[in-house]
């Protein structure tokens, strides 16, 4: 797993190390954005200039300023990074969503690499995760822990009985964290599959999916109070 906390200097390009060893099972590149970074306000104007018309419309539909900032930061930095990877102007990239809401590049952009560049986005609290892979569909999920969450009811509804039972055996002080990690693994795999939660009943879900070479999954170490995971699915 390659995790980059994204650090920028206003007015300069964003730089990350894109690792491509031609291995479809190689872990995805994960970039973390922190909306609480005071420098976010310094890059708003730059990011606004590269959004597409439909993204500007979506931006103005948000009522709260923090939601607008989160969308602008996520979509703007996504465009900057995709433009850097593809050597294309970020403002001219076509980003489309399928019927399940999974984003992808338009056909012209994909042909630039002679294969599809897959990516995914997740946000919760102050954090945004961007995931990229050069061969396989990628899904990412980040969750801010809520102490008031009725995690057991959700686990019974969404997890196999084996995982729910395993959660109950975890020391009580660790159950919440373990639940969130299991949840992030599940959602990352569902997003990688492209089906979202409509695929919950058909996904071959296992707790330790990292041992499944066809559907690898990784936990992501994030700041305290957050859990995250990334998963791959299928092949280009």
Residue-range domain boundaries for the chain: 2-233
b/e code 111-121 from CB counts within 10 Å (16+ = b):
eeeeebbbbbb
Looking at residue 160, the DSSP 8-state letter turns out to be -
Query: What's the average model confidence in pLDDT over 14-29?
Result: 65
Hey, is 140 helix, strand or coil? strand
Q: Which tens digit of pLDDT belongs to each residue from 182-232?
A: 999 999 999 998 876 655 554 555 444 433 556 789 999 999 999 999 999
**110, 15 in Cβ contact below 8 A?**
no
Sign of CA dihedral 173, 143, 86, 116: positive
CB 138 within 8 A of CB 192: yes
| Cβ 220 vs Cβ 228: under 8 Å | yes
Q: Name the pLDDT band for 106 (thresholds 50, 70, 90).
A: confident
Q: Say whether pLDDT at 85 is over 50.
A: yes
Q: Which CATH number applies to 2-233: 3.40.30.120, 3.40.50.1360, 3.40.50.300, 3.90.470.20? A: 3.90.470.20
Helix residue spans in the chain (DSSP H): 40-48, 53-61, 65-86, 107-110, 151-158, 161-169, 172-193
List pLDDT tens digits, range 119-154: 999 999 999 999 999 888 999 999 999 989 999 999
Closest CA to 226 of 149, 145, 139, 122: 145
Quote the pLDDT of residue 22: 64
């Amino acid at each position: 797993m390659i995790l980059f906390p994204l650090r920028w200097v206003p007015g300069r390009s964003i730089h990350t190390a894109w690792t491509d060893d031609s291995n479809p099972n190689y872990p995805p590149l994960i970039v973390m954005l922190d909306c609480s970074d005071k420098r976010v306000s310094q890059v708003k104007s730059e990011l606004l200039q590269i959004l597409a018309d439909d993204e500007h419309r979506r931006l103005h539909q948000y009522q709260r300023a923090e939601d607008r900032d989160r969308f602008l930061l996520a979509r703007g930095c996504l465009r900057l990074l995709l433009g850097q990877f593809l050597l294309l102007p970020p403002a001219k990239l076509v980003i489309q969503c399928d019927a399940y809401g999974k984003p992808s590049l338009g056909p012209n952009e994909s042909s630039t690499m002679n294969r599809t560049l897959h990516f995914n986005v997740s946000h919760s609290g102050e954090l945004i995760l961007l995931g990229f892979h050069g061969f396989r569909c990628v899904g990412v999920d980040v969750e801010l822990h809520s102490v008031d969450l009725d995690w057991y009811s959700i686990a019974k509804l969404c997890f196999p009985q084996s995982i729910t039972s395993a959660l109950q055996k975890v020391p009580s002080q660790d159950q919440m964290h373990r639940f969130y990690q299991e949840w992030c693994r599940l959602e990352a795999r569902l997003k990688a599959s492209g089906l979202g939660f409509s695929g919950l009943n058909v996904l071959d879900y296992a707790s330790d999916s990292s041992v499944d070479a066809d559907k690898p999954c990784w936990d992501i170490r994030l700041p305290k109070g957050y859990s995250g995971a990334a998963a791959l699915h299928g092949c280009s």
